[in-house]
Chain A
Amino acid sequence: MEYMAEADPLQKKLMILADAAKYDVACTSSGVDRKSGGQGMGNSKACGICHSFASDGRCISLLKILLSNDCIYDCKYCKNRLSNDVPRATFTPEEICQLTMGFYRRNYIEGLFLSSGVVKNPHYTMELILETLHLLRDKYQFHGYIHVKSIPGADEDLIQRAGFYADRMSCNLELPTAEGLKKLAPNKDRKMILKPLRQVQQGILQNKEELTVYCHAPKFVPAGQSTQVMVGATPESDYQIISVAEALYKKFALRRVFYSAYVAVNEDNLLPAVDTKPPLLREHRLYQADWLLRYYGFRADELLSEQHSSFNIVLDPKCDWALRNLEQFPVEVNRASYEMLLRVPGIGVTGARRICMARRHATLNFNDLKKMGIVLKRAVYFITCSGKMMYRINFNEDAITRNLLSIHERLPIEVQESISGYHQLSLFDDSQAGQWQIPLPALREVVV
């Protein structure tokens, strides 16, 4: 990093600690509506606002930094592990406030995302984080968005207090299964990570009751919790990953589970080789499935099963599901329930809602659907309007699969570029997944 030579000390720190934080995917600023009330600085919009987009196309909405990368843990997948020789830096709480306020004032960011390596011990780290939040909210009167990590192993009281300052808290599971975590992160264990998640979940529930009684009670983590799992560092199957995600949504009431394609940064015989490309298509499919779980009423065991444990490379999870359940199709657009419309490939939440709204006033035909902005490319094989399909279609799995495959799926560009490499990689993944398969009952137990 020779370009850092002439930079001033704060800039140097900023670059080290932003670089260390970049693998954290969560950068959402959504979930809270708050007005500044004419004082201090800042407000928050429930829809979230992206302020810029980085060279990798990901949104920059929060000032995403670590408080420190001077970590005492030695997690094998992490760039800042103890045994790596990387430049180390630690912000003072006052410095973080200066940067956050300065950036926010110029509308560069929507708020702060504060994570940290473990300095000295979890308590000490959480104390530093708490002090930063306290300064920002109380001294600088900052009303913008704050996303903060709860450090596993820190005192419950500290996490509780941070929760009253923050909008969202998160605690990364890092690896989908406890076994994987034990192998790659010797200093962490699953229970330790789940503890703060559970604590914050209970805090939120309790706070909800308080809020119904006193509407001005201080809000506890109003934007909920999220977590992140790495994909491709260990050989868990897609089915295991989405089952874990489903359990997290149900049991821990998480707002989001983020998936991050593992970028190989460290040399280790337990990890993929350093020149392995991140499994971007797999990450993409997991996000698609994640949406199906959260907004489309699908269950994990509908999308995949133990026998059929990884996502189709060439078809998105919804098309894949529809093809395996052709007996439920075609559905009649003018009569099908909202839930069934949601299950039609090509029709999304907005589309289904619009159809339900518009069909109250007129019988819809394909032309109307088109005008309403429903994309018929895929949907056309699965729907009828007044009992007729758009054109004569050979309604069997093979024919529809062939037609669907001839549609050029618009993948994110980065995924498209990596796709030629993925084909080989996925075969490799599958074979490896077979060897490593961890029996599912054990997995369920872990999540509960």
Chain B
Amino acid sequence: MKTPRIYMCEDSLEGILSAVHAAYMSRYGHEYQSIAAGDYVEPSLFSEMIRIETDVDKAARVADAVIHKISGYAWHMVKYAAMSCYMDKADTIYRFLVLGFRIGRKVTEQLADPVVNRMMKLERGVMREKDRFYGFVRFRELNNGILFAKIAPKHHQIPLAAEHFADRYPMENWMIYDERRHEVCVHEAGKGWWIAKDVTPAQRIISDVSDGQKQFEQWWKSFYETIGIKERENPRCRMNMMPKMYWSNMTEMMGK
């Protein structure tokens, strides 16, 4: 029997696809290989650990193959699953692609298959959070006119949020900072956006908000307090719809 191999890669779409590429190229046999993404990988005594460097070209080739040999929808699933916060995502994507390259576009329909099923759950987790998450981002206007938002989502949401907000505020300078992953997305008015990793903004600058901001916060809070119907008060329903983990960054929920 062969020694199992574990490919360790960076926790990103490019990283995972690079590892998929390496796993295919090794011709070692899919059943003996698995992929683990992220900094921390469970060490295993009886397997060989291989570190894979992220290679955008190779990842792009895999992406191309997914789109053309499987389907656009499969690519969508891979893209979203890669943003999930769960540890098994890299290996699930790998298994999904192995199956997909074998049977083609109908792979996304085989919901009863454990791998496809898991894939769907990963994708849906990210999609679900994305849907409500867009609404919960709160921008604050700093004294220099820049809009700044702090977020702490469960899954990796910055790339999706960036696209959404770039279309929403094309003529504004804004920044979205992910507290958990220490990533920031910067948008310049009338131009594009980019993402910087491993950064922390200076507290001094982000707490210096403009006067207009204080005014609007006041108005928003009073609107929020007024709009609820007292006879139908329902804190649990609110918590279901808007989990507490988001409250810390929402203007109207601060201090509740």
Contact = CB atoms under 8 A, between A and B. Distances in A.
A55 B234 contact: yes
A43 B136 CA distance: 16
B226 A18 contact: yes
A52 B112 contact: no
Interface string A19-39: 101110000000000011111
B106 to A, nearest CB: 7
Contacts of B242: 52-53
Interface in B216-256: 216, 218-220, 222-238, 240-242, 250-253
A56 B139 CA distance: 24
Contact of A414 (B106, B213, B234, B252): B234
Interface stretch (B24-32, B75-83, B166-174, B196-204): B166-174
Contacts of B222: 7, 11, 14-15
B135 interface: yes
Contact of B220 (A37, A64, A103): A103
Contacts of B231: 263, 277-278
Nearest to A22: B227
B237 A41 contact: no
A78 to B, nearest CB: 15
Most A CB contacts (10 A, CB to CB) among B114, B149, B169, B219 go to: B219
Interface residues of B, number: 57
Most B CB contacts (10 A, CB to CB) among A7, A10, A63, A371 go to: A371
Contact of B147 (A56, A64, A106, A261): A106
Most B CB contacts (10 A, CB to CB) among A55, A277, A361 go to: A55
Interface stretch (A216-224, A339-347, A352-360, A394-402): A352-360
Contacts of B225: 55
B238 A53 contact: yes
A38 B190 contact: yes
Contacts of B172: 41, 105
Contacts of A441: none
A446 interface: no
Interface size, A (range): 35 or more
B111 A354 contact: yes
A43 B227 contact: no
Interface in A53-72: 53-61, 63-64
Nearest to A37: B170
B117 interface: yes
A21 B132 CA distance: 24
A50 interface: yes
A368 B229 contact: no
A412 interface: yes
A110 B135 contact: yes
Contact of A55 (B117, B136, B228): B228
Contacts of B227: 18-19, 21-22, 54, 60, 64
B58 interface: no
Interface in B113-161: 114, 117, 131-132, 134-141, 147, 149
A372 interface: yes
A15 B241 contact: no
B236 to A, nearest CB: 5
A45 B160 CA distance: 14
A414 B109 contact: no
18 contacts: A11-B219, A15-B226, A38-B190, A39-B170, A42-B168, A43-B167, A49-B131, A50-B135, A60-B227, A103-B220, A105-B139, A106-B139, A106-B140, A107-B168, A358-B109, A368-B111, A414-B232, A414-B233
Given A22-B229, A59-B241, 17 more contacts: A39-B170, A41-B170, A41-B172, A47-B131, A52-B136, A53-B237, A53-B242, A54-B227, A56-B232, A57-B238, A106-B138, A277-B231, A278-B231, A361-B109, A362-B112, A412-B234, A413-B234
| In the complex, the 7 A-B pairs of residues with the closest C-beta atoms, listed nearest first | A57-B237, A55-B228, A54-B228, A368-B112, A57-B234, A51-B135, A56-B232
